[in-house]
Structure 1
Amino acid sequence: MNALVLDNNNQTHISDITLKDMPIPELNNNEILIKVHALGLNPVDFKLIQEHDSNWTYPHILGLDAAGEIVKIKGINNRNFQIGDRVFFHNDLTKQGVFAEYAKAKANIVAHIPDNVSYESAAAVLCSGLTAYAAIHRKMNLIGKKTILIHAGAGGVGTIAIQLAKLAGLEVITTVSEQKKNIAQKLGADHIIDYRHENIDQRIAEITDNNGVDIIINDIGNSKADLSRLAYNGALICILETPLTSYNLSAKGQSVMGLNLGGVHQSNYDNQLNDLAIMAESLAKLLSEKKLDPVISEVIDFEDIGKGLEKLSERKTIGKIVATI
């Protein structure tokens, strides 16, 4: 099968990716073989090229998010999957990836795609969509919460988080650059802050009557700056790093939580691994009901994934880039 690979651990540039003939994955018990039709590109893909995972073997197939059809099943199948089912999943970054004509996955992390949802849309809402969903519907108790600050509202996580927050009845504040304001507005953000030309703290104080924000989702780093923006009983959800400071969270009953979507694979905790599929099917249902826009900015050919990752690395994209086979 054709696959996009790195040949050794000295290859740390996107330009090092090569198209190579690789063997079709062999299945272990409780695994599914999927003929891939669409692939979601994520910032973590190029970050892993820059710094390989220590568990990789070479040649290593890249990629984490795939949608396709089941062609083979091995072992006990308690999910009632059938050959030909349309499915999608978020892969374990320590294992061989999904940028290939075929990919395998543990049955418990795989989710069904509704008939009226395209492979492209399904692939687009995996890594970023699952992250946004986990932040709002797994990390947070939304009772009594009114406002949410979502950084980078035009990015992969941000575009989905804005929509999920609005569906949950939250008042959405988001930070974007001037040229990306339109997409944030289109997705329903109530307050849009141009982080390059406006004072974020001042705008939040104005919007919240100096109360601060109930929930903050930070996937841009420098999360320490968000601590002072929290309301009483507020919570900061950090996707990149968690600030370790002498800040007194207990004074206002506040919380700081880390969110590491990919880490669930290394936990070997079945309850949380199963939840990957549960969350994915919740997102797929919203796609099916036309309540969620996957915000696909570009659909590219499989062979052009390297070019797509270059665009992502320049941080100028809106929403998601998806590749098709």
Structure 2
Amino acid sequence: MKAMIIEKYGKQVPFAIAEQPMPTVGEHDVLVEIHAASLNPIDFKIKEGKMKFLLNYKFPLILGNDFSGVVVKVGSRVNTWKPGDEVYGRPRKNRIGTLAEFIAVHEDDIWLKPQNLTFEEAASIPLIGLTTYQAFVDILKLQKGQKILIHAGSGGVGTFAIQLAKQMGAFVATTASDKGYELVKSLGADLIINYKQENFEEKLTGYDAVFDTLGGEALEKSFRVLKPGGQIVSISGMPNARFGKEAKLGWVKTAILSIVGRKIKALEKKYHTRYHFLFMKPSGSQLKVIKEFMEEGLIKPVIDKVFPLKEVGEAFQYLESGRAKGKVVIRIK
């Protein structure tokens, strides 16, 4: 099969289209012919070697963390799926590789794609959808009437997060530039802060939750907008010792996270809040719930640009530039 590979870590390392062996299909696996995949910030973080502390991969490496396509073969113990099923999904962290013609995934990690979406639209959803759902439902347990700040509302995660938060009845504040203003407004944001002209930490107070997609200084300032007992979920900040224990990283890595996470722990204590680092888990059952949202028109996909597989390098550059409003998708078939 054709796949887009890298031979080593590095920001400047080029992609190459290469013939790779067909994936091995285990007894609980499903072989999917991929029609489309989407790019996410975790892809260039993996490419640059920034995720080595949490994820170990061998080379040549096929990147890509979500997809849509058609089932072509199922393992001997698979009963839920059959050849011809149109599905979407997010493979397990040790089985990534959606920038290819085929992928083998565990049967529990996929679901039927929303019928009202194209393959490109469906491929844009799994990672951002699962990330947001797990942040809002599993961790924050977001309630009607609560106030949440969603950073970078016009980005891939942000566009989905605004819509889900509104469906859950929350008051949504978000940060965006002039170029993203109309988009986040159309998605339902109640309060929009132009981060180039205003400081969100000076405008907001008494919030129940923050969904951080930026990390760094924005994350640290986010503690100031929370009320006592408020919570931050971050997908871009530093994993903390709590995450290390939950993810069973071992005592050495957990101890390291405890040391590097001292600043965040101090902010938790100072503002009487709670910080969660989220590393999303695949879930076909949650994709089923998301499918229902999409088919009812309650949440809509937001795609900025679609690239062919041969232009993955350009697509990565475009995503890293920060100009994308919504998702960047790769058409494979």
TM-score range, shorter chain: 0.7 to 0.9
Separation (CA, whole Å) in 2 of partners of 1:149 and 1:68: 34
| Amino acid in structure 2 at the alignment position of 1:239 | I
In the TM superposition, what are the counterparts of 1:1-325 in structure 2 within 5 Å?
Answer: 1-7=1-7, 9=8, 11-13=9-11, 16-51=14-49, 53=52, 55-78=56-79, 80-143=80-143, 145-205=145-205, 212-222=206-216, 223-242=219-238, 244-247=264-267, 249=269, 252=272, 254-261=273-280, 264=281, 276-325=283-332
For structure 1, list consecutive stretches of 5 or more residues without a partner in the other structure: 206-211, 265-272
8 Å contact kept, 1:3–1:99: yes
Separation (CA, whole Å) in 2 of partners of 1:174 and 1:162: 8
Separation (CA, whole Å) in 2 of partners of 1:179 and 1:143: 30
Separation (CA, whole Å) in 2 of partners of 1:73 and 1:110: 12
Per-residue CA deviation, residues 289-318 of structure 1 (Å, 9 max, x unaligned), is 111111011122121122111101111111
Separation (CA, whole Å) in 1 of partners of 2:132 and 2:209: 13
Kindly state the Cα deviation for residue 251 of structure 1 after the two structures are TM-superposed: 7.1
Kindly state the Cα deviation for residue 217 of structure 1 after the two structures are TM-superposed: 0.4
Corresponding residue SS for 1:55: coil
| Amino acid in structure 2 at the alignment position of 1:174 | T
Separation (CA, whole Å) in 2 of partners of 1:37 and 1:167: 29
Corresponding residue SS for 1:234: strand
8 Å contact kept, 1:117–1:284: no
What do you get for the CA RMSD once the two structures are aligned? 1.9
| Amino acid in structure 2 at the alignment position of 1:288 | E
Give the 3 Å change call, closer, same or farther, for CA 177–33 of structure 1 in structure 2. same
| Amino acid in structure 1 at the alignment position of 2:311 | D
Kindly state the Cα deviation for residue 138 of structure 1 after the two structures are TM-superposed: 1.3
Corresponding residue SS for 1:246: helix
Kindly state the Cα deviation for residue 93 of structure 1 after the two structures are TM-superposed: 3.5
Give the 3 Å change call, closer, same or farther, for CA 14–73 of structure 1 in structure 2. farther
With the length of structure 2 as denominator, give the TM-score of the two structures.
Answer: 0.85
Corresponding residue SS for 2:94: coil
Corresponding residue SS for 2:104: strand
Corresponding residue SS for 2:123: helix
Separation (CA, whole Å) in 2 of partners of 1:138 and 1:14: 37
For structure 2, list consecutive stretches of 5 or more residues without a partner in the other structure: 239-262
8 Å contact kept, 1:35–1:68: yes
Kindly state the Cα deviation for residue 248 of structure 1 after the two structures are TM-superposed: 5.4
Give the 3 Å change call, closer, same or farther, for CA 144–284 of structure 1 in structure 2. closer
8 Å contact kept, 2:27–2:77: yes
8 Å contact kept, 1:14–1:49: no
Kindly state the Cα deviation for residue 15 of structure 1 after the two structures are TM-superposed: 5.2
Kindly state the Cα deviation for residue 71 of structure 1 after the two structures are TM-superposed: 0.3
| Amino acid in structure 2 at the alignment position of 1:234 | G
Separation (CA, whole Å) in 2 of partners of 1:163 and 1:248: 28
